[in-house]
Amino acid sequence: MQIVSAGRAVSEQADGWAPSPPALYFHHRASLEHDPRAHMPGHPDTPERIEAIERRLAAVDWLGWRRREAPRARESQLELIHGARLVGMIRDMCAAGGGAIDPDTFVGEPSYRAALHAAGGACAMARALIAREARVGFSGARPSGHHAEPERAMGFCLFNNVAIAAELAIRELGVRRVFILDWDVHHGNGTAEAFRRRADVLFASIHQAGIYPGTGALTDAGSGAGEGFTINLPVPAGSEEDLWLSLLEHVVLPAAATFAPELVLVSAGYDAHRADPLANCRLEAGSFAHMARHLRELAHRLGAPLGVVLEGGYEPAALAECVQATLAALADDQPAVSAAPEALLTSRAAAQVSRYWPL
């Protein structure tokens, strides 16, 4: 017994990790207090999304993941990405009781506090990962962030949690390159804008074409010094797992491996699930497990930690099933399944992305 444990410790330390690194889950009860239905009855972004996730995970003892409270982000952390004017506008609007930021995005008095903890959870996760306290992390807070642009909150999002965590890693934690995969069914326009001209963040988004927010064309590869460091892969309504996995495996992952990130982050929305009311793709919970395993294997090969940040997903039961499948896949040792290259869209996407990356 002792010999076995000692051998395990040696082999795990050999690739740079402490023995049995825990997986960390960040959350905060403030996520339950932000409720856009106070302004728009029937709004799909509800506290029940988080309640469904946590009820399901509690029933399986959180799959052994260690939970940590998401701290509040400081305003200076928000301002790593956002203008002080936007931060102040949202803070003041919430303090005054709330209101509409745009036709989809509403805040109430508790929303600012919820948003600080959502950004803080992503930042605390990045810090813990870079400190090698864990090899994988998940920040399960709301409001989500990937539509929030540097100067504009939109699309249910106030501050861009994943972008703030990426920028924190680069500016304060010594990370040189961050890869962000956005698998939410909507284009991650906010993250794309934050890093559009940057060569130290590779941003890839797979999203349904023709729905909100309307950005993310295949030919938009970033600008200036950041040209090539944005990968947009729109898919048609009705797309299934085969296409998503093919684009991930045959277009996104080879580019990401060449980029050699020191931190891998995922903007994990689950609204590409077939049950989701806001879009029309046809993924299953197992599809997200497949994607998570591919990301886990990429991160492991590169010796980079992997952090996942919750974005969308508006059918609470499906969302909870998907999050559980993701956590299980991030922590298990099942190999990622290889997908056959889907002929039409994958080859068109590969032709575009191979202008910048060897595929």
Q: Which residues are catalytic?
A: 147
Judged by beta carbon, residue 135 or residue 207, the one nearer Zn ion is 207
Binding mask 16-55 for Zn ion (x = CB under 5 A): ----------------------------------------
Tell me the C-alpha distance between 136 and 26, whole Å.
Answer: 11
Q: Which of residues 298-357 bind Zn ion (CB under 5 A)?
A: 312
Q: Is 276 in the site for Zn ion (CB under 5 A)?
A: no
Cβ(202)–Cβ(287) below 8 Å: no
Count the residues of the shown chain that bind Zn ion, applying the rule CB under 5 A: 5
Work out whether strand 230-235 and strand 66-69 pair parallel, antiparallel, or are unpaired: unpaired
CB of 187 to Zn ion, least distance (A): 9
Amino acid at site 65: W
CB of 152 to Zn ion, least distance (A): 17
Nearest-10 Cα torsion for 339, 342, 320, 67: 50
CB of 146 to Zn ion, least distance (A): 8
- Determine the interface stretch with Zn ion among 17-25, 115-123, 135-143, 263-271 (rule: CB under 5 A): 263-271
Tell me the C-alpha distance between 12 and 301, whole Å.
Answer: 14
Judged by beta carbon, residue 247 or residue 279, the one nearer Zn ion is 279
Q: ∠ at Cα 81 (199, 279), nearest 5°? A: 85
Residue at shortest CB range from Zn ion: 312
Tell me the C-alpha distance between 115 and 266, whole Å.
Answer: 18
- Determine the interface stretch with Zn ion among 4-12, 268-276, 331-339, 350-358 (rule: CB under 5 A): 268-276
CB of 303 to Zn ion, least distance (A): 31
Amino acid at site 20: S
Backbone angles phi, psi at 167, to 5 degrees: -70, -40
Q: Is 271 in the site for Zn ion (CB under 5 A)?
A: yes
Helix (H) or strand (E) holding 325: helix 316-331
Query: Which residue in 332, 333, 331, 335 sits closest to 66, CA to CA?
Result: 331
- Determine the interface stretch with Zn ion among 15-23, 251-259, 260-268, 270-278 (rule: CB under 5 A): 270-278
Judged by beta carbon, residue 190 or residue 269, the one nearer Zn ion is 269
CB of 41 to Zn ion, least distance (A): 21
Amino acid at site 2: Q
- Determine the interface stretch with Zn ion among 74-82, 230-238, 271-279, 328-336 (rule: CB under 5 A): 271-279
Residue 20 CB contacts under 8 Å (≥ 6 apart), including other chains: 12
Q: Which of residues 176-205 bind Zn ion (CB under 5 A)?
A: 184, 186
Tell me the C-alpha distance between 191 and 262, whole Å.
Answer: 18
Q: Which residues bind Zn ion (CB under 5 A)?
A: 184, 186, 269, 271, 312
